[in-house]
Chain A
């Protein structure tokens, strides 16, 4: 079990191997489809991003609303491959880890190798279980996107498995 505390350094990321179990503690950010499009547009327009992407972990997730007094609702991962066209831009900008479910394409894997980044797997459809590892949640950008807004999450011992490492290895038989 490897403990990960963001921001992650290139050195830490390059030591991870596909299949390694990790636990994340600290701050991670959520972003999925539309938020990715906006983040990439901001980079193209040389505008500041809503959070520091250097060393960051992005979690592909859009939760259910929190009940009163609760931190968050169900909070499991969405399909990572939909972010394939955007991830290389963010990796080049300093993103060190992405977290979601399913496959990544070759372009993303090439970027991860070149710049030093990994893709982490969390169990898709285990939204209730995974929500237990999130202790704080706050919308920090793109509020108009509703559930797809960018959130700053604080997590404690959040479990994941390295699905693709920075040396082109994969946990998938594909």
Chain B
């Protein structure tokens, strides 16, 4: 027996997620900033980190978005195969429509910035609704619907990169390239970063893995000890760069490096790095 979820319930959930994500920095990010501020040996870097913590307090207390770039709304929907989405009075409306309606309402009622243009090259006219959202749906077991909204800024997304290595490339070659991508992001992409890394898959899946990696709690290691160790080594190498908060120098260039992996072709070793700024805004709900 399938469970029915009302269309409007999804709209309301997405709307709230958009607003909450843009006003409240997740606890793990705030904790990581606080910890970094304590450890930072560069006094100006420590001051910047404290300003970011203060910014998060003002955002939550006074309902001003954490950052003016409230991003593209990237929405992940994990749909239980026993869910039915019911839309009264608007036949043919799908979960994609519900999510976009939610994003539209969230960005309007939450006083968030509309940062989507309708097409990339001709007129680049702002759609005025921050839609369409970027939507990734997957089917899971059960009768629940898990929705995650990530407000992904443009400055850091611009510095993300993808490369396919030869399958014979080793751990060191991959690490060196990832560190180089972060170095290239530098001051422009609002460090301290969170580096989301997708290893394996193919052209499109490695990029998606890199984005999904960003959704993990910053304190959660990869479940495979080999990749957990690689995350640790990457973070250490990145923080040795000395870029520091906002690129003005310091020990804190990244707060975390998170790797997700997938099987891949015998000919390929795809690697994607999704750079995320310190304003790491995402929130989930299960319906």
Residues of B within 8 A of A146 (CB): 114, 126, 128
**Interface pair A172/B111, CB less than 8 Å apart:** no
Are B279 and A129 in contact, CB atoms less than 8 angstroms apart?
no
Stretch at the interface among B4-12, B66-74, B160-168, B260-268: B66-74
Q: Contact string, A31-73, partner B, CB cutoff 8 A, digits 1/0?
A: 0001000000000000000000000000001111111000001
Among B57-65, B88-96, B135-143, the stretch that binds chain A is B57-65
Q: Which of B48-56, B77-85, B202-210, B221-229 contacts A (4 or more CB under 8 A)?
A: B48-56
B275 to chain A, nearest CB (A): 12
Cross-chain contact B246 with A121 (CB below 8 angstroms): yes
The stretch among A9-17, A75-83, A91-99, A109-117 that forms the contact with chain B is A75-83
User: Could you tell me if A64 and B55 are in contact, using CB atoms closer than 8 angstroms?
Assistant: no
Query: Cβ of B189: which chain A residues have Cβ within 8 Å of it?
Result: 79, 102
Contact of A127 with B by CB under 8 A: yes
* B115 interface residue (CB < 8 Å to A): yes
Asked whether A65 and B113 contact (CB < 8 A) given A73-B68, A125-B67, A128-B64, the answer is: yes
Chain B residue nearest to A67 in the complex (CB): B111
Interface check A157, CB cutoff 8 A: no
Q: Please, which residues of chain B bring their CB within 8 A of the CB of A128?
A: 55-56, 58-59, 62, 64-67
Closest to B44 in A: A161
Q: How many residues from B make CB contacts under 8 Å with A?
A: 42
Task: For residue A70, give the distance in angstroms from its CB to the closest CB of chain B.
Answer: 8
Are A174 and B65 in contact (CB-based, < 8 A)? no
Given contacts A64-B70, A125-B67, A131-B64, contact A103 B186 (CB under 8 A): yes
A147 beta carbon closer than 8 Å to chain B: yes
| CB of B248 within 8 Å of the partner chain | yes
The answer to the question of B218 belonging to the interface, with a C-beta cut-off of 8 Å to chain A, is: no
- Residue of A62, A78, A126, A161 most packed against chain B (CB within 10 A): A126
For the complex, give the distance between the alpha carbons of A127 and B55 in Å: 7
Cα A151 to Cα B188 in complex, Å, equals 23
Asked if B18 is an interface residue, CB under 8 A from chain A, the answer is no
* A169 interface residue per 8 A CB criterion: no
Whether the pair B68, A61 counts as a contact (CB closer than 8 A) is: yes
Q: Is A101 an interface residue (CB 8 A)?
A: yes
- State in angstroms the CA–CA spacing of A162 and B54 once bound together: 22
The A-contacting residues of B in range 118-135, CB under 8 angstroms, are 124, 126, 128
Q: Are B188 and A125 in contact (CB under 8 A)?
A: no
Question: What are 6 A-B pairs with beta-carbon distances under 8 A?
Answer: A63-B68, A81-B188, A124-B277, A127-B55, A127-B64, A128-B58
Task: Give B contacts to A, CB under 8 Å.
Answer: 48, 51-52, 54-56, 58-59, 62-70, 111-115, 124, 126, 128, 153-155, 158, 186-190, 242, 246-249, 277-279
Which A residues are within 8 Å of any B CB, using their own CB?
A: 34, 61-67, 73-76, 78-81, 101-103, 121, 123-129, 131-132, 145-148, 161, 171-174
